[in-house]
Amino acid sequence: MLLLGLTGSIATGKSTVSSLLSSAPYNLPIIDADLLARKVVEPGTPGYASILKHFGPSTPDLLEAPNNSNGGENGPSGKGRPLNRPALGKRVFGTSEEAQRLRKVLGGIVHPAVRREMYKELLSAYLRGCWAVVLDVPLLFESGWERYCGCILVVAVRDPAIQMKRLRDRDPHLSAEDAENRVVSQGDVREKAERVMRRGKGWGEVVWNDGDREELKREVERVMRDVRVRSPAWWGWVLLLCPPVTVAVGLYSFLRSWRIQKQWEGEKRSEKAKL
């Protein structure tokens, strides 16, 4: 089974690409890290309790204000009010040392729980005989999932102004500063595009999304043709029916991705050292 990593940056169109891949003619199962991240911090979960413990004392508006639509004081489930995500976002998004520290704290709570849920869904997709499964992970490189993916798709825009406009159109409550902080916190998507192209055709692809939906659909078709050439349907059945081959291929893919990752990181360290 091919692990097809899907990443990008905020407001580049990753969710639209995910929707296209989940529908005909691809019909691929999607493991959405964002949805899982919401699931693991719902009221009553260990993640929810940890966030309240770490952020509650310093964030008075950490929970949504009680009202009829969210179940009042005890929330819709009776286990507490939902998290106020914009308030939490203001604490963790940004370039200040404090924001970066708090972002690591939040990641330490959410990421392990999300990984456990992802492993469960991967096993389910494998047992169903899926030829590929899409790992929709915004911070794919940062979280270390890069090395596990046989192929990675980065949804990117060439013009940063397009990204900022889409974000503020989607979330009008964000100020220009808030929008910029969210974009910066997820890294430069053009750098991610450069990074994924190091993997080679069929191993790493960039889906450019500077135009409309029809242009994006053509881009996805182009990219998936390259992916299918490297991972035809018959190969998926071989991997499903021959677990030893699956293990060997998975190990090769992991080591190849690890080597490319280390080369990239080494080059970036050298560039910083020259500044």
pLDDT digits 0-9 by tens, 20-36: 999 999 999 999 988 99
Three-class SS of residue 41?
coil
Q: What is the pLDDT of residue 209?
A: 94
R_g of the chain computed on alpha carbons: 20
Side chain identity, residue 81: R
Cα dihedral 84→90→91→94 (10° resolution)? 150
Which of the four pLDDT bands, split at 50, 70 and 90, describes residue 138? confident
pLDDT surpasses 70 at 12: yes
Mean pLDDT of 56-62: 87
Mean pLDDT of 113-134: 90
Q: Compute the distance between CA of residue 2 and CA of residue 170 in angstroms, rounded to an integer.
A: 32
pLDDT surpasses 90 at 134: yes
113 HSE (CA, 13 A, CB side): 21
Angle 46-55/97-127 helices, nearest 10 degrees? Answer: 180
Model's pTM, two decimal places?
Answer: 0.78
Q: Compute the distance between CA of residue 103 and CA of residue 99 in angstroms, rounded to an integer.
A: 6
**Domains in the chain: ranges and CATH:** 1-29+130-275 (3.40.50.300), 36-127 (no CATH)
Q: What is the pLDDT of residue 74?
A: 67
pLDDT surpasses 70 at 265: yes
Q: What is the pLDDT of residue 60?
A: 86
Sign of the alpha-carbon torsion through 140, 92, 191, 210:
positive
Length reported for the chain: 275
Three-class SS of residue 62?
coil
Share of the chain above pLDDT 90, in %: 33
For residue 210, what are its two tokens? 């500077």
Which of the four pLDDT bands, split at 50, 70 and 90, describes residue 75? low
pLDDT surpasses 90 at 182: no
